Amino acid sequence: MAKIKKTIKTIRVDADKCNGCRGCEIICSAYHAEPKYSSINPAKSRIQVLTHRLQNIWLPVFAGEYTPAECMGRDKYVIDGKEYEECAFCRAACPSRDLFKDPDSGLPLKCDMCEGNESGPLCVEWCLNDVLTYEEREEEVEEEVEMEEMEIGLGSLIDKYGLDKIASTVARMSQKD
């Protein structure tokens, strides 16, 4: 298969430097307002600073993919004696919580790295304490056709039961109709 180049975009979060100002939330919501910069509402921001002040927790988290179903179980991390809230490090807009949903419509929000803005993600630019750093790199990856969700599911079934068994089951089920 041919090799292709893919751009990996990363925002490096040095949470130890965060002073908890929520400036990233402000600029994010302003940039994504319609028209641009016409309104501000941190609740609509695609980055949220999870905060427990007296526990010394200031954790900026970016909105990732939407998920229609929550995980089978949740996680709760304790690091250096600090107990983070449930699923704190997960970026999903998930039914288990309010995070990363538009407060009015409930629709999921997702960080788009401020697509269209020449200087890159604005939260990075706006944070004057250098908590956020934007990094871009190119990686060579095997060209492959991205599998759709059903293919992924079928693939895992084939791995488990073998292609023959799956094929005969599908054939049997389709005859029932």
Binding positions for another protein, rule: CB under 8 A: 19-23, 26-27, 30, 33, 35-44, 51-54, 56, 58, 85, 103, 126, 128-129
Q: How far is the CB of 112 from another protein (least distance, A)?
A: 19
In the complex with another protein, which residue's Cβ is closer, 16 or 164?
16
In the complex with another protein, which residue's Cβ is closer, 54 or 78?
54
Q: How far apart are CA 60 and CA 47, in angstroms?
A: 7
Q: How far is the CB of 65 from another protein (least distance, A)?
A: 22
Q: How far apart are CA 101 and CA 67, in angstroms?
A: 12
Q: How far is the CB of 24 from another protein (least distance, A)?
A: 10
In the complex with another protein, which residue's Cβ is closer, 96 or 157?
96
Residue 125, class by beta-carbon neighbours within 10 Å (0-12 exposed, 13-18 middle, 19+ buried)? Answer: middle
Query: Cα torsion at 102, 105, 109, 114 (round to 10°)?
Result: -80
